Amino acid sequence: AQKITQTQPGMFVQEKEAVTLDCTYDTSDQSYGLFWYKQPSSGEMIFLIYQGSYDEQNATEGRYSLNFQKARKSANLVISASQLGDSAMYFCAMREGLGNEKLTFGTGTRLTIIP
């Protein structure tokens, strides 16, 4: 089974609209972390947001928020008021278990913002 599933290979969104990128995960560990990274065409991976499995509140970082639904094992990224510069690949990733720092990445979603 896939550890991280991103079901949207591509999305087109009008500028200034909000967008939700889906991510579901599969783990039997109680302790895990969920991450979102943005990869523009330049190739660098930019850290956006982190959610720990024990965090009770959804993480927020500026225009980014993580809709964490533990029972459904989903960690969707919400980008408010999208901008042209948000066009990029977005990867969801998970770190599972205590003492393990390796990340497992999803296949990514290519987001295109339309002016």
Partner 1 sequence: GAVVSQHPSRVICKSGTSVKIECRSLDFQATTMFWYRQFPKKSLMLMATSNEGSKATYEQGVEKDKFLINHASLTLSTLTVTSAHPEDSSFYICSALRLDGKNIQYFGAGTRLSVL
Polymer length in residues for the chain? 115
35 binds partner 1 (CB under 8 A): yes
47 binds partner 1 (CB under 8 A): yes
Residue closer to partner 1 (CB basis): 50 or 78: 50
Residue closer to partner 1 (CB basis): 16 or 52: 52
Closest approach, Cβ 101 to partner 1, in A, equals 6
Stretch in the footprint of partner 1 (CB under 8 A) among 19-27, 36-44, 67-75, 77-85: 36-44
Strands 32-39 and 88-96, by their bridges, are antiparallel
The dihedral of CA 97, 100, 106, 111: what is its sign?
positive
Q: Which residues contact 41 (CB under 8 A, 6 or more apart)?
A: 88
| Distance separating alpha carbons of residues 2 and 28, to the nearest angstrom | 13
Contact positions vs partner 1 (CB under 8 A): 33, 35, 37, 42-47, 50, 52, 91, 95, 101-103, 105-108
